[in-house]
């Protein structure tokens, strides 16, 4: 696995979490997109819950708002989930051009890559997405690693773990707390294992890139 860069990595990705809001933006937006049934909305729910309930930056609370949408069918059609994380309360839930774009399928890439701006960081599943953008992007082998862990359905948690490591938006510990509260019965262990694996995959870019 190698880091594919089409633009310089923003300086903010190389700093500690303590100043993430001040250096990225006072408001940071994340868009998850994939096919219905891939757990796109669950990933967004975990991120939003972790940020709003368990994160404090320099003594300040973090606030999060989440929206989601499906295509014509709940499974097999496009699915999108947007999360906005801010150090202030926000009441406008819509994202025009996300700061981070997490893509888990080729149809999602085709449907949402145009929403990216030049500074958008794209995190994509290396097997689920065939195309590559002319932007800074990270290849994460989420589907393959999820299968190797025994749960293809946990690829969403691998993608979330990679996002957490690459972006620094929240801590892994906060995400694990949210996963423990939101996971259906019998799925907690697999989801937590996948989340940690994704975090590890994100870390590999720091050593290889």
Question: What's the pLDDT score for residue 59?
Answer: 64
Q: Which tokens go with 200?
A: 């590890």
CA end-to-end distance (rounded Å), the chain: 10
What's the average model confidence in pLDDT over 24-28?
A: 68
Those residues whose C-beta lies under 8 Å from the C-beta of residue 146, and which sit 6 or more positions away, are 152, 153, 154, 155, 158, 194
- State pTM to two decimals: 0.83
Separation in Å, CA 206 to CA 11, 14, 15, 146, 199: 13, 9, 12, 22, 11
For position 8, what pLDDT does the model report? Answer: 35
Q: Is the pLDDT of residue 40 over 80?
A: yes
49-82: pLDDT as tens digits = 999 999 876 667 788 999 988 655 445 578 899 9
Domains of the chain: 24-208 (3.40.920.10)
**75-79, 140-144, 205-209: the lowest-pLDDT one:** 205-209
Does the pLDDT value for residue 6 go beyond 90? no
Would you say residue 170 has pLDDT above 90? yes
- What phi and psi values does residue 166 have, to the nearest 5 degrees? -70, -40
Q: What is the pLDDT of residue 58?
A: 60
Per-residue model confidence (pLDDT) at position 101: 98
């Amino acid at each position: 696995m190698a880091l594919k860069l089409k633009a310089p990595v923003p300086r903010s990705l190389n700093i500690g979490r303590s100043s993430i809001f001040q250096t990225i933006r006072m408001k940071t937006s994340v868009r998850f997109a994939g096919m219905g049934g891939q757990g796109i909305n669950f990933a967004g729910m975990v991120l939003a819950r972790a940020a709003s309930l368990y994160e404090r930056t320099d003594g300040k609370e973090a606030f999060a708002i989440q929206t989601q949408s499906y295509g014509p069918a709940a499974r097999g059609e496009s699915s999108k989930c947007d999360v906005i994380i801010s150090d202030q309360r926000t009441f406008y839930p819509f994202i025009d051009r996300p700061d981070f774009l997490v893509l888990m399928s080729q149809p999602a890439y085709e449907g949402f890559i145009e929403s990216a701006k030049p500074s958008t960081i794209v995190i994509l599943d290396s097997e689920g997405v065939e195309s590559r953008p002319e932007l800074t992007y990270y290849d994460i082998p989420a589907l393959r690693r999820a299968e190797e862990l025994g749960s293809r359905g946990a690829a969403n948690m691998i993608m979330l773990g990679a996002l957490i490591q690459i972006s620094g938006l929240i801590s892994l510990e906060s995400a694990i707390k949210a996963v423990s509260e939101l996971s259906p019965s019998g799925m907690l262990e697999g989801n937590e294992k996948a989340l940690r694996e994704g975090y590890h995959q994100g870390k590999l870019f720091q050593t290889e890139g």
